Amino acid sequence: MLALEGIRILDMARLGPGPHCAQILADMGAEVIKLEMPAPKEGKRAGRTITLPGDAAIRRNSRSISLNLKSDAGRGVFERLVKTADVVMEGYRPGVAKRLGVDYEAAKAIRPDIIYSSLTGYGQNGPYAEYAGHDINYLGLTGMLAMTGRSDGPPMIPGNTIADNAGGGMNAAVGILTALLARERHGVGQQIDMAMIDGLLTMMMFPIDEHLTTGAVPHRGETITTGLYPWYNIYKTKDGKYVSVGAIEPWFFENLCRLIHCDEFAAEQYTEGETRERVFAAFTDAFLTKTRDEWVSLLMPEDTCVAPVYGIDELVDDPHLGQREMITDDANGRRQVGVMVKLSETPGSIRSPGPEQGQDTSAILQELGYTDAEVESLRGEHAVG
């Protein structure tokens, strides 16, 4: 038994946050059908579109139909699919879905209680709504870039697409699940306007709230979580690797000072100026006396809030992540990131690898009642791939 078994989702979102949202829901049992436009053969995008590999982990547990939504026959297939669906997802710029005839109003006319998720960078309204953007732009606008990096250097690009994955994909999944619950309780469908900048602003709530409350302007390197203090920082070790230290509570800091032989600083956690710099220097020197793994072995089990700074090639072999099945194998033995949410009674699972684009076109059309002759006619009209 899977938590979202029986929920059908039509996924028109192509790259980034949409597929991540769909993957989260598919892992929990939702039936995800990807509606994928055939690559254009002419125009400025011909031969230049970005596509994900068919077996990419983010496409797992789903099926794919190659569907030309610019054709009347293709929209006819869309309409039949909507009749069978609970959720429609799209990631177009505002107005594009309407021009294609596959917007919320079109879907609602077919199924009044449909849940329709529109996932964009800047949202469905506002001065920036129709602007193009990518992850780095959304991070910049919401203050996240300004708060990332050293105080004496420029803003730094984080190591992952935070706007796509957390600001957009995960929050869209929350929105869809909330709307499904509202439909179950109140009998209403609705449109979800999920903007990546909205998700990021929620993630930046603490520094924004501080500014709105006090008028102070937080700067990177000058707050607890951006490197102001020695007890929340990153240190180089003897072998050129790094450890992360997050000993915020005084008792964790005291344990840390004792174990790295800096006992004299145990009462200096919140000091400023010259004393703080002395603690920084002492910690820097101390961590250079052992290798990263020696420090992790000594400190991590001892209530110090210390952990290794892993490279990607290292984390995939971490025993803890392996035991929690966060690095696991699919049915074909392909290693990948596991299922995020751990449910005790209806756990999610990786049931199938990602499909190639259009892999399930014929099967899905037949399920919708199209005959073999009609399927061939649709192919001849280039309504499906």
| Catalytic annotation, residues | 134, 164
Q: Where are the beta strands (DSSP E) in 121-277?
A: 190-195, 232-236, 242-246
User: Which residues is 116 bridged to in the sheet?
Assistant: 88, 191
Whether this prediction's pTM lies above 0.85 is answered by yes
What stretches of 50-170 show up as alpha helix (H) in DSSP?
A: 72-83, 96-100, 104-110, 135-141, 162
* Dihedral (Cα; 184, 190, 191, 192), 10-degree rounding: -40
> Tell me, which fold does domain 224-236+242-308 have in CATH?
formyl-coa transferase, domain 3 (3.30.1540)
Nearest CA among 177, 241, 263, 255 for reference residue 4: 177
Average pLDDT of each block of 10 consecutive residues along the chain (385 residues)? 97 91 98 90 65 86 96 97 98 96 98 98 97 97 96 94 96 98 98 98 96 96 94 98 97 97 92 93 98 98 98 97 95 92 97 94 97 95 93
For residues 259 and 250, what is the distance between their CA atoms, to the nearest angstrom? 14
pLDDT, position 77 = 98
Quickly tell me which residue has 């789903």 as its tokens. Answer: 62
Q: Cα 286 to chain center, whole Å?
A: 37
Structure tokens at 33: 């059908």
| Domain-wise residue ranges, the chain | 8-202+329-380, 224-236+242-308
Quickly tell me which residue has 């079109």 as its tokens. Answer: 106
Q: What is the CATH number of domain 8-202+329-380?
A: 3.40.50.10540
pLDDT, position 17 = 93
**Tens-digit pLDDT profile for residues 322-347:** 999 999 998 788 999 999 999 999 99
User: Which residues is 90 bridged to in the sheet?
Assistant: 118
For residues 82 and 69, what is the distance between their CA atoms, to the nearest angstrom? 13
**Tens-digit pLDDT profile for residues 233-268:** 999 999 999 999 999 999 999 999 999 999 999 998
Contact 173, 194 (CB under 8 A): no
pLDDT, position 15 = 79
